[in-house]
């Protein structure tokens, strides 16, 4: 049986997000979506002695809570598919050590949220696993010092820079009877327009989001109006209008349904420059806010397009441009 | 239809490795398996001006050759699943930019070779793709300076250290009529025995290999004697005897069928300390040597157990122990 639709879309009929959980830091807890997050920490250290342990702690507690909400125990989970932004994806791997679930690590920068969900859905639908946990994390302080400068430098940033979201979002994927269905996943290819400024992730990633959204419409025959909401992961203030304009030029008017997780997660006066970024941007908004709206049926069909900038500090220093990618997953309530 | 066998094994019936290709550096080209590698470079720079570009070049040419050997064009490949050892898996992502194939990045350190093959097989068998390319790369000079010290320091190493293999190995996975079948994949969980010495990867990873091999036997009902060859990825001189001994203590005598890719790829007098490591260790040996032996039918049933040490320089510096994992894939000729 083929689950392949067009060039790069996977179709699912039986897979649901049985439960999800989100744990975030203090700034996210003061944002407009605070009520949708399960755990909010008022201490960026999350009670740990390193930033890396803090990020890991967020991931572990989101995983525990998601599994508990699904009415399961960790030893009933067949597989953990997870990633994060840190080198050698240590947050995910150390969470896998804690959880003791068979584990596959993935890396798609901020697209990791939907990469892991797409793989989880394909493995459940394909009969390789009954329950898969997918998820990712990011932490402002771990990302800052890895990708940019030691935070102690107090380095100045341009207004088009973004603020890495501190949080972890986890989903439990399975074939149960309740919960929104994972309907499609469109896997992106690398788009690199030659941009080299590591502060301007929004501009670099926007064309990748556009490419995947267009491919999704081509592969599925759907149109923007088929969705209640289409969100990109973290294009924020610079990339969001760019993606909107590019899509319009290609004949897709998303204006009535389009938003961006990096714009949704903070108030504009929260000193986050152009908005949120990091794989926890799309993961927190999707597994916190969007899942709640789907359960309330204020939203019924959502396309989450997680965008990733696949640079490294080494490629930047070597003068390379930024390869970007986006993966889209359609999450929706069953039609009644 | 369930493809799940026991705790963490996936079963396949229709998936084959249609073609594979391996590109390596000069030291590997002087080793005992030289005749099994498709491309051998006598210059560690592979004609590039950075080590990172050199590694990427190996990956790109192995990918091109594997696709060509399969009688396909790159635009017929539905998906690339790839990873490497570098931060933000830049070798894989930049290769994906070059190939322009929809792409999912994975990270399992040196277990990436079998992680990517297992996922490729599951997606082909599950009907999500007709052709998937899976692969990974490592390069001695990129890995040394990232994980240990700048090579210019000329830092001394203990005899139990290993030598990162310079190479890339790529497989084309699909449902064709010829080529060895991918029969099982056993997905590992994290094993961490508390070891902290980043030079002694063999001792750290051996228990993870043992855990996955034992789980593979439990899930499939197979025994060591069902295989012509069981290879671990890169346990080398220290980890290999340790794994063998631990397996014997658990009732599995592998002595007549067990070898290690890190021991097979170099002659003992090649100044590689305890032997080879890096994800190209298992990828080069599997997609070069083992694939050729399977085609010649000198081998018919092989279990490749790729082992990964999921540490990072940051976790090491923060005093953490080394989480390890192993994924096993059974590759075999169809019984006549």
**Claim to verify: residue B196 and residue B320 sit in the same structural domain:** yes
User: What are the pLDDT digits (tens) for A2-28?
Assistant: 999 999 999 999 999 999 999 999 999
**Claim to verify: residue A139 and residue A248 sit in the same structural domain:** no
Which of chain B's residues have a Cβ under 8 Å away from the Cβ of A184?
none
Q: Which of B174, B205, B232 is the last residue of a domain?
A: B174
Q: Name the packing angle between helices B112-125 and A112-125 (round to 10°).
A: 50
Domain assignment present for residue B111? The answer is: yes
Predicted pLDDT of residue B153 = 85
Test B313 with A52 for CB contact under 8 angstroms: no
**Contact predicate B188/B325, CB 8 Å:** yes
Test B2 with A127 for CB contact under 8 angstroms: yes
Which of chain B's residues have a Cβ under 8 Å away from the Cβ of A192?
97
Considering only the beta carbons, identify the residue of A88, A94, A123 that sits closest to B107. Answer: A88
Domain assignment present for residue A261? The answer is: yes
**Contact predicate B156/A157, CB 8 Å:** no
User: What are the pLDDT digits (tens) for A55-81?
Assistant: 999 999 999 999 999 999 999 999 999
Q: Which of A126, A149, A174 is the last residue of a domain?
A: A174
**Contact predicate A133/A125, CB 8 Å:** no
Q: Which of B174, B189, B215 is the last residue of a domain?
A: B174
Q: Are strands A163-164 and A276-277 parallel, antiparallel or unpaired?
A: parallel
What one-character-per-residue DSSP string does B243-297 give? HHHHHHHTT---TTTEEEHHHHSS-TTSS-TT-EESHHHHHHIIIIIIHHHHHHT
State the average pLDDT for chain A.
97
Question: How close A143 gets to chain B, by Cα (Å)?
Answer: 12
User: What are the pLDDT digits (tens) for A189-203?
Assistant: 999 999 999 999 999
Predicted pLDDT of residue B1 = 78
**Claim to verify: residue B29 and residue B164 sit in the same structural domain:** yes
Predicted pLDDT of residue A154 = 83
Rounded distance between C-alpha atoms, residue A34 and residue A202, angstroms: 24
Question: How close B93 gets to chain A, by Cα (Å)?
Answer: 7
**Claim to verify: residue A79 and residue A189 sit in the same structural domain:** no
Provide the 10 A C-beta neighbour count for residue A1.
Answer: 7
**Claim to verify: residue A134 and residue A48 sit in the same structural domain:** yes
Rounded distance between C-alpha atoms, residue A105 and residue A85, angstroms: 12
Domain assignment present for residue A328? The answer is: yes
Considering only the beta carbons, identify the residue of A101, A105, A320 that sits closest to B106. Answer: A105
Domain assignment present for residue A9? The answer is: no
**Claim to verify: residue A169 and residue A280 sit in the same structural domain:** no
Provide the 10 A C-beta neighbour count for residue A211.
Answer: 20
10-residue averages of pLDDT along chain B (336 residues): 93 98 98 98 97 98 98 98 97 98 98 98 98 98 88 88 97 95 98 96 97 98 98 98 98 97 97 96 98 98 98 95 98 89
**pLDDT over threshold 80, residue A336:** no
Domain assignment present for residue A5? The answer is: no
Test A318 with B10 for CB contact under 8 angstroms: no
Number of domains in chain B: 2
**Claim to verify: residue A168 and residue A227 sit in the same structural domain:** no
**Claim to verify: residue A84 and residue A225 sit in the same structural domain:** no
Domain assignment present for residue A7? The answer is: no
Domain assignment present for residue B293? The answer is: yes
Question: How close A155 gets to chain B, by Cα (Å)?
Answer: 22
CATH number at residue B206: 3.40.47.40
Which of chain B's residues have a Cβ under 8 Å away from the Cβ of A123?
122, 126
Question: Which residue would you say has higher pLDDT here, A211 or B150?
Answer: A211
**Claim to verify: residue A286 and residue A321 sit in the same structural domain:** yes
Rounded distance between C-alpha atoms, residue A19 and residue A319, angstroms: 43
**Claim to verify: residue B27 and residue B49 sit in the same structural domain:** yes
Rounded distance between C-alpha atoms, residue A98 and residue A60, angstroms: 7
Optimal mutation site among A113, A190, A193, interface B, most CBs of chain B within 10 A: A190
Size of interface A-B (CB pairs under 8 A): 180
Optimal mutation site among B87, B192, B195, B320, interface A, most CBs of chain A within 10 A: B87
**HEC readout, A25-59:** CHHHHCCCCHHHCCEECCCCCCCCCCHHHHHHHHH
**Claim to verify: residue B232 and residue B309 sit in the same structural domain:** yes
Nearest CA in chain A to B184: A128
Q: How much is the average pLDDT of A286-296?
A: 98
Q: Domain span at residue B253?
A: 181-332
Residue B173: name the closest of B70, B293, B82, B91 by CA.
B70
Residue B328: name the closest of B183, B153, B124 by CA.
B183
Considering only the beta carbons, identify the residue of A118, A128, A323 that sits closest to B4. Answer: A128
Test B323 with A97 for CB contact under 8 angstroms: yes
Considering only the beta carbons, identify the residue of A119, A311, A320 that sits closest to B119. Answer: A119
**Contact predicate B176/B207, CB 8 Å:** no
**Contact predicate A247/A214, CB 8 Å:** yes
Which of chain B's residues have a Cβ under 8 Å away from the Cβ of A138?
none
Which of chain B's residues have a Cβ under 8 Å away from the Cβ of A90?
310-312, 314-315
Optimal mutation site among A109, A128, A141, A320, interface B, most CBs of chain B within 10 A: A128
**Claim to verify: residue A149 and residue A297 sit in the same structural domain:** no
Domain assignment present for residue A189? The answer is: yes
Test A187 with B127 for CB contact under 8 angstroms: no
Predicted pLDDT of residue B148 = 83
Phi then psi dihedrals of residue A278, to 5 deg: 95, 155
**pLDDT over threshold 90, residue A150:** no
Banded model confidence at residue A219, pLDDT cuts 50, 70, 90: very high
């Amino acid at each position: 049986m083929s689950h392949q639709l067009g060039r790069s879309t996977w179709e699912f009929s039986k897979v649901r997000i049985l439960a999800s959980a989100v744990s975030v830091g203090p700034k996210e807890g003061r944002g407009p979506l605070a009520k949708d997050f399960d755990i909010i920490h008022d201490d960026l250290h999350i009670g740990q002695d390193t930033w890396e342990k803090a990020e890991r702690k967020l991931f572990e507690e989101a995983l525990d809570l998601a599994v508990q909400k699904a009415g399961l125990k960790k030893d009933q989970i067949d597989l953990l598919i997870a990633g994060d932004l840190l080198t050698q994806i240590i947050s995910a791997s150390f969470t896998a050590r804690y959880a003791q679930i068979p584990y596959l690590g993935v890396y798609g920068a901020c697209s990791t949220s939907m990469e892991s969900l797409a793989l989880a859905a394909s493995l459940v639908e394909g009969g390789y696993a009954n329950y898969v946990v997918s998820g990712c994390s990011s932490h402002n302080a771990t990302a800052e010092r890895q990708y940019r400068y030691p935070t102690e430098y107090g380095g100045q940033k341009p207004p088009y820079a973004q603020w890495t979201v501190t949080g972890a979002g986890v989903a439990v994927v399975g074939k149960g009877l309740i919960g929104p269905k994972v309907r499609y996943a469109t896997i992106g290819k690398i788009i690199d327009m030659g941009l080299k400024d590591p502060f301007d992730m929004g501009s670099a990633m926007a064309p990748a989001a556009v490419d995947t959204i267009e491919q999704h419409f081509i592969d599925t025959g759907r149109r923007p109006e088929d969705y209640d909401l289409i969100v990109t992961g973290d294009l924020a203030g610079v990339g969001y209008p760019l993606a909107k304009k590019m899509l319009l030029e290609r004949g897709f008017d998303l204006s009535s349904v389009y938003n961006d997780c990096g714009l949704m997660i903070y108030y504009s006066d929260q000193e986050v420059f152009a908005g949120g970024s990091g794989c926890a941007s799309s993961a927190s908004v999707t597994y916190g806010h969007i899942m709640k709206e789907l359960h309330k049926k204020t939203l019924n069909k959502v396309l989450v397009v997680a965008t990733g900038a696949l640079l490294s500090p080494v490629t930047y220093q070597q003068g390379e441009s930024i390869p970007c990618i986006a993966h889209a997953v359609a999450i929706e309530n069953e039609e009644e």
